[in-house]
Amino acid sequence: MKRYQIIIASLILFTLVGCAQQGNLPEGFYRYDQSEVKALLNQLTFHPTIPSFLPIKVELIVTDQFNLEGTDNEAMDVSFYSKDNDVLTFQATEGKFQFPENNEEVQIDKQTKGKYMDNQFAKSLFWIKDNVSYVMTFRPSMHEKQVSKQDLIKIAQQT
């Protein structure tokens, strides 16, 4: 009998710990294995912040590290793919760059403004924080996964 009580208590504890870890996860968002992205971050000379959750279930992650053409500015690119081939690309560049013109200005947090662009092919969000320039672009597959401007802003708020 005591053995069963220990097993039941252990299961309850694991369930509570799992629920506590999911507590900060907004509805419709998913966690992903960050180990590959963190390995990329360890190779960089600048310090971007990566999101801990995304609006798609990640099946594949592709990372890249490079210098911007014609500059010494280092950059990183991470593409997150869903099973349906939706792709969310997260880019960070050392230093500040110019935002694209004629896009909607959005408030990311109290100190950070960005630019949002939505066309028939992709939704993009651009912002600068702590001397790092970020671009996030979502391209749906033919299944037309819906990711909103607010979803992209929630991701940006993690940086």
Taken in order of first residue, the domains within the chain and their CATH numbers are 28-156 (3.40.1000)
pLDDT of residue 143: 67
Cα 53 from Cα 24, distance rounded (Å): 10
Please tell me the pTM assigned to this model. 0.81
The dihedral sign for the CA sequence 43, 47, 52, 56? negative
Q: What is the pLDDT of residues 40-92, one digit of tens each?
A: 999 999 999 999 999 999 999 999 999 988 888 899 999 999 999 999 999 99
Average pLDDT, the chain: 85
CA atoms within 13 A on the CB side of 38: 5
With contact defined as beta carbons under 8 Å apart, do 157 and 149 qualify?
A: no
Question: Is 80 exceeded by the pLDDT of residue 12?
Answer: no
Instruction: Please tell me the predicted confidence (pLDDT) of residue 145.
Output: 67
E runs forming strands in 18-111:
30-31, 53-54, 60-67, 74-81, 87-94, 104-107
pLDDT digits (tens, 9 = 90+) for 116-129: 999 888 999 999 99
pLDDT for 119: 86
Instruction: Specify the pLDDT at position 96.
Output: 87
Angle at 65 between CA 68 and CA 134, to 5 degrees: 65
